[in-house]
Amino acid sequence: MFDMDGVIVDSEQVWDDVREALVRERGGRWHDRAQADMMGMSSVEWSAYMHEALGLRESPAEINDEVVRRMLARYRDDLPLLPGAVEAVERLAARWPLAVASSSNRPLIEAVLEAAGIAALFRTTVSSEEVPRGKPSPDVYLEAARRLGVAPSRCAAVEDSSNGLRAAHAAGMRVLALPNPHYPPAADALALADAVVRSPDELTPELVDAA
């Protein structure tokens, strides 16, 4: 199981830039904790947060649509793939069936995987907008395992954020942490990991077996 933002694509700063710009343009109340608060939230959750906590007048549905539109435009201009991420996906796909379990909206998941040339390597993809609760709840990981037809206990998840690590652990999966250096996970969340790597280059079948 791969998370996408922060694991395949180095997008957390893009999300931060897009949402902050929208809040400031529309007269909202951006604050320093906003990005950290929204990491791992589903689109339903973060669009409601931007409406209620950050003061945007538009409805959550309108906020969601505008953020996705701007994210897709940024990805078309420059897809910020993490160095070594494509190769890591290829290595693990040669051994196991893969899934994406992401907080990103489905159009963004599809755009990233297609542009990176790795869409065909994933048996299934799940967006947290398709399940009842976003991370840190385990819903998106449990749904990905269900679609693969594999027990969660037989799955390993690659995650970068606090909420993602908590979600994978709560799903009963082995957890491989790839900490985001710009938005590092909390110590208690990182402690849930069965293995910690510094880059996608370290994601190998041998590491998964050892975990």
Report the range of poorest mean pLDDT among 2-16, 37-51, 63-77, 183-197.
Answer: 37-51
58 and 112 in a single domain? The answer is no
204 and 118 in a single domain? The answer is yes
Give me the number of domains the chain comprises: 2
For residue 140, is it within any domain?
Answer: yes
- pLDDT of 88 reads 98
For residue 118, is it within any domain?
Answer: yes
Query: How remote is the C-alpha of 127 from its chain's centroid?
Result: 9
CATH of the domain at 57: 1.10.150
193 and 151 in a single domain? The answer is yes
123 and 181 in a single domain? The answer is yes
40 and 134 in a single domain? The answer is no
For residue 35, is it within any domain?
Answer: yes
For residue 196, is it within any domain?
Answer: yes
- pLDDT of 211 reads 85
Give the pLDDT band of residue 183 (cuts 50, 70, 90).
Answer: confident
Q: Please give the residue range of the domain that contains residue 19.
A: 12-77
For residue range 131-141, what is the model confidence (pLDDT) as tens digits? 999 999 999 99
200, amino acid identity: P
CB atoms within 10 A of CB 192: 16
CB atoms within 10 A of CB 207: 15
- pLDDT of 161 reads 92
- pLDDT of 36 reads 83
199 and 95 in a single domain? The answer is yes
Q: How far is CA 106 from CA 35, 78, 130, 174, 205, in A?
A: 20, 19, 9, 25, 28
pTM to 2 decimals?
Answer: 0.92
- pLDDT of 62 reads 98
Give the pLDDT band of residue 41 (cuts 50, 70, 90).
Answer: confident
107 and 168 in a single domain? The answer is yes
Which of 28, 47, 77 delimits the end of a domain? 77
Give the pLDDT band of residue 37 (cuts 50, 70, 90).
Answer: confident
- pLDDT of 182 reads 83
The H-assigned helical ranges of the chain are: 12-25, 34-38, 43-52, 60-77, 85-93, 106-116, 139-148, 162-170, 187-190, 205-210
- DSSP letter at 186 equals P
Which of 77, 95, 116 delimits the end of a domain? 77
37 and 63 in a single domain? The answer is yes
Q: What angle do CA 122, 209, 11 make, to 5 degrees?
A: 45
Decide if pLDDT at 94 tops 80: yes
- pLDDT of 76 reads 95
Distance (Å, rounded) from C-alpha 211 to C-alpha 206? Answer: 9
92 and 162 in a single domain? The answer is yes
Half-sphere exposure for 14 (CA within 13 Å, toward CB): 22
Secondary structure of the chain: what % helix, strand, coil (to 5)?
50, 10, 35
Which of 42, 77, 112 delimits the end of a domain? 77
